[in-house]
Amino acid sequence: MPIDKLPDAAGNIDCRDLERVLTDPDLREWEARLEAARQAVMLRDAPKEAAASESGVGQQLAALLLPLTPGKLQEMRLTIPHANQQTRFLAYRDGPAWVQHTAQSRYDYAPSETIEARMSAWFDLLQERWAFPPLQCALAFAEFLDIHPYFEANGRTIRLLMGVYLVQCHYPPFLPSEATRKEYTLTLANYSQYRTVWLFYRFLLRQLTLETEKLLGEQA
């Protein structure tokens, strides 16, 4: 299931290697492997899906997301624990934010005055489902964390949001484990530093594929 064209909204994101993502044969192999496992799981679990749809669970899940709006995002944020409970109710941050890598090195997230424009382009990414949702998920995930629009709970917010989206599209949720956290962090840092999503997308594809194949091996 080759991906040969991206929605126009992707062009509004400053990502410099989308052409490589579209043409890389290694990614195509992982995408095909993931899609084959996903289709097999869906076929096996079709009776459960039908029951969930009849009970209204499927409609409730779908209503949580696309098209994503600022209001839906804020509703989701209200369900996430915060160290400072008041930050749950705040709009975008109005000051600097950074991550300290070492005593001599830190990475500064998006300047606060650019957040509104970058988040507007980010919401455009999530107005409709792409032909291959994991690529949409990878780009939205990395861009959100680079913007870091809130003072707190940015990681928890995007992991919850993209987890729901992936489940809605019949993929397993993406939750980095202790074993994969270092690679998760490094691939996202690569996006922030070089504006390239290839490494993070490959990482995400591998994790989703292995988890889907694990589900396929379990008893129905």
**CB burial readout 6-30, b (16+ within 10 A) else e:** beebbeebebebbeebeebeebeeb
pLDDT above 50: residue 116: yes
* pLDDT band, very low/low/confident/very high, at 34 (cuts 50, 70, 90): very high
Query: Which H/E stretch holds residue 98?
Result: strand 98-100
Residue 197, pLDDT score: 97
Instruction: Give CA–CA dist 193/161, Å, rounded.
Output: 24
Residue 38, pLDDT score: 94
Interval 158-195: pLDDT, tens: 999 999 899 888 899 998 999 999 999 999 999 999 99
For the chain, the distance separating the N- and C-terminal CA atoms, rounded to the nearest angstrom, is: 26
Pair 141, 191: CB distance under 8 Å: no
pLDDT above 60: residue 219: no
Q: CA torsion, points 7, 8, 14, 17, in degrees to nearest 10? A: 50
Collapsing DSSP states into helix, strand and coil, what is residue 99?
strand
User: Tokens standing for 199?
Assistant: 């490494």
Instruction: Give CA–CA dist 17/20, Å, rounded.
Output: 5
Q: How many CA atoms lie within 13 A of 34 on its CB side?
A: 28
* pLDDT band, very low/low/confident/very high, at 207 (cuts 50, 70, 90): very high
Interval 47-86: pLDDT, tens: 666 555 544 545 555 555 678 888 888 888 888 887 777 6
Instruction: Give CA–CA dist 91/161, Å, rounded.
Output: 17
Characterize the bridge pairing of strands 98-100 and 106-108: antiparallel
Pair 201, 138: CB distance under 8 Å: yes
Instruction: Give CA–CA dist 76/195, Å, rounded.
Output: 27
Residue 146, pLDDT score: 96
Instruction: Give CA–CA dist 120/177, Å, rounded.
Output: 31
Name all contacts of 15-18 with Cβ < 8 Å and 24+ positions apart.
15/139, 15/143, 15/191, 15/195, 15/196, 15/197, 16/194, 16/195, 16/196, 17/195, 17/196, 17/197, 17/198, 18/197
Pair 139, 15: CB distance under 8 Å: yes
Overall pTM > 0.95 = no
